[in-house]
A and B are shown apart, each in its own frame.
Chain A
């Protein structure tokens, strides 16, 4: 090997023999691995933090709901500020922190929010979906794959022009409740289990869990029209053809019942539902 310029003869590097490193106590030779993980998810909510940071709540595919800090994203020159807007499906790299994780990288998979910003009724329906998803996943980092897939499907349907946003929202609310174990009973009595068998169940009792027969009907239960109940069933089962044929008055009644049912079972109000505008 030729000698290096001005460096004289090359010195042999000094290595610690491997057996000596193995003898060192754990705390000296290893700082502990920096825990990073990668997951994809939908941004549910962002909150301002400090000068230029944000706390971002994401519903992830495998990790479940995660609250993480995105540093400096409110600055105009932020590398990924625009990628962490609500409704965006993003591929994220997280760095585990003491209380909150830190988002270190973000790549957009699909910006579901792009068609919503310019359409106010769709935007308000979408925000109600995000808030519901957040409420239905109350525990941090508890996997909720079915809720995640349902939200992705709901946001995709919301971006389609031909579907009425409020119908998409009601379908999402009913199905997310079903995934969480609160599916309303629509074809049998929620109390005694008696099948309707073509006969009409007369009342919808929110506290009982859906439609009830005449003998189980509690005082104060709503009496929706049969078409409204049929619409709720169509939305729950994903029968868009039947739902699309429904009349406006039945849609309004259905929305009212779904909103009341959701908030009663969540034991929490969904603030954005008040602002949802019908197209």
Chain B
């Protein structure tokens, strides 16, 4: 136990994900030893992020205004929407610089065992976006696990009457991995989704 304010800082840091009591103590003492200007900048960034960041009213991504920069970008393809679980997934797909459409963040995946059903996700908002007929393709990029698959199946069934093109990113072997270490399910998926090598 330390003096009041230091212990208070350690306790607060310890509430962050992935930070245990030892880690919190290390960070606290690092901040004490750091340049006061650096610490003030960090504190200002923390305050600023809580005050300025909100969720985009259209897609549910993190934004600094009512709409995120992707939804405001006129160069984006309005006919394609990529559905993801979390804002972190938007950042991951943006990194590949291949996708030029827009996103829709569900806020999770259907997980009945945790009490998360379709009503707890931003599915109603997605249906509203699809209703005006602008969108022609829906990419269901939920996580490649069982909950993500079930969410994608549920959405595909829901939008089927709209006549949209519904696609799902391929899943299979990771680049740079060894075939012998791939598990049976992943390897099975990779074989299901094999493509013609046109040379």
Contacts and interface: CB of A to CB of B under 8 A. Distances in A.
Interface in B145-187: 145-146, 149-150, 153-154, 157, 174, 176-177, 181, 183-186
A85 B146 contact: yes
Interface string A106-134: 10100101101111100110011011000
Given A131-B113, A271-B115, A83 B185 contact: yes
Nearest to B157: A120
A84 to B, nearest CB: 9
Q: In terms of DSSP, what is the predominant structure of the interface of chain B? A: helix
Contact of A271 (B17, B114, B176): B114
A124 B112 contact: yes
Given A85-B145, A86-B146, A114 B185 contact: yes
Nearest to B150: A123
- List the 9 closest pairs (A to B, CB-CB), nearest first: A272-B112, A117-B149, A275-B112, A82-B183, A271-B115, A82-B185, A275-B117, A127-B112, A123-B150
A45 to B, nearest CB: 6
Interface residues of A, number: 35
Contact of B183 (A83, A87, A276): A83
Interface string B12-52: 00000110000000000000000000000000000000000
A267 B41 CA distance: 52
A108 B146 contact: no
B15 to A, nearest CB: 15
Contact of B184 (A50, A77, A83, A118): A83
Interface residues of B, number: 25
A10 interface: no
A183 B17 CA distance: 44
A119 B181 contact: no
A106 B183 CA distance: 9
28 contacts: A45-B113, A50-B18, A51-B18, A79-B181, A80-B183, A82-B183, A82-B184, A82-B185, A85-B145, A86-B113, A87-B146, A108-B183, A108-B185, A111-B185, A114-B185, A116-B150, A117-B146, A118-B153, A119-B153, A123-B150, A123-B153, A124-B150, A127-B113, A130-B113, A274-B112, A274-B117, A275-B110, A275-B112
A76 interface: yes
Interface of B: 17-18, 110-115, 117, 145-146, 149-150, 153-154, 157, 174, 176-177, 181, 183-186, 188
B150 A117 contact: yes
B188 to A, nearest CB: 8
A119 B110 CA distance: 13
Contacts of A244: none
Contact of B174 (A77, A120, A272): A77
B146 to A, nearest CB: 5
Interface string A65-82: 000000000001101111
Contact of A118 (B112, B149, B174): B149
Contacts of B117: 274-275
Contacts of A119: 153
A276 B145 CA distance: 19
B174 A76 contact: yes
A111 B146 CA distance: 11
Contact of A85 (B113, B181, B185, B188): B185
